[in-house]
Amino acid sequence: MTLRECYAALGGDYDEVISRLRSERLVQKFVLKFPEDGSFDALCGAMAAQNREEAFRAAHTIKGMCQNLSFTKLGQSAHELTEALRSGWSEAAPALFETVRADYEATVGAVREFASQLDV
């Protein structure tokens, strides 16, 4: 699996991220670090506790990382959850969170598949 194929599998925009970061090596470095970030775990805990402020912060962080890495699909679902939590606990938040969870798992799965094929 190439990095471009990884982006296709996770619903991202490879050309956009390359135009921004200018180096496949640099993109690869940040993509491989993505699963190590604790924001998704923080989001899961905050959603379970219905802690709107912490859930908002974690979803907003995920959205920002996705924008920087051009992880389009996960970025969009994180954006929708962020907006639903922006001014209060939304009744839509649990369903939006499940979409974020599915998109996150697909993203991390693609990144891990890509990583497993590297000689590191």
CATH code given to domain 3-116: 1.20.120.160
The confidence score (pLDDT) of residue 62 equals: 98
Q: pLDDT for 59-82, tens place per residue?
A: 999 999 999 999 999 999 999 999
CA angle 97, 102, 104 (to 5 degrees): 90
**Residue 77 contacts residue 66 (beta carbons within 8 Å):** no
The confidence score (pLDDT) of residue 63 equals: 98
pTM recorded for the entire structure = 0.93
Percent of the chain with pLDDT over 70: 98
Instruction: Band the pLDDT of 17: cuts 50, 70, 90.
Output: very high
Neighbours of 84 (CB within 10 A): 22
**Calpha distance 7→11 (Å, rounded):** 6
The domain segmentation of the chain, as residue ranges, is: 3-116
pLDDT over threshold 90, residue 119? no
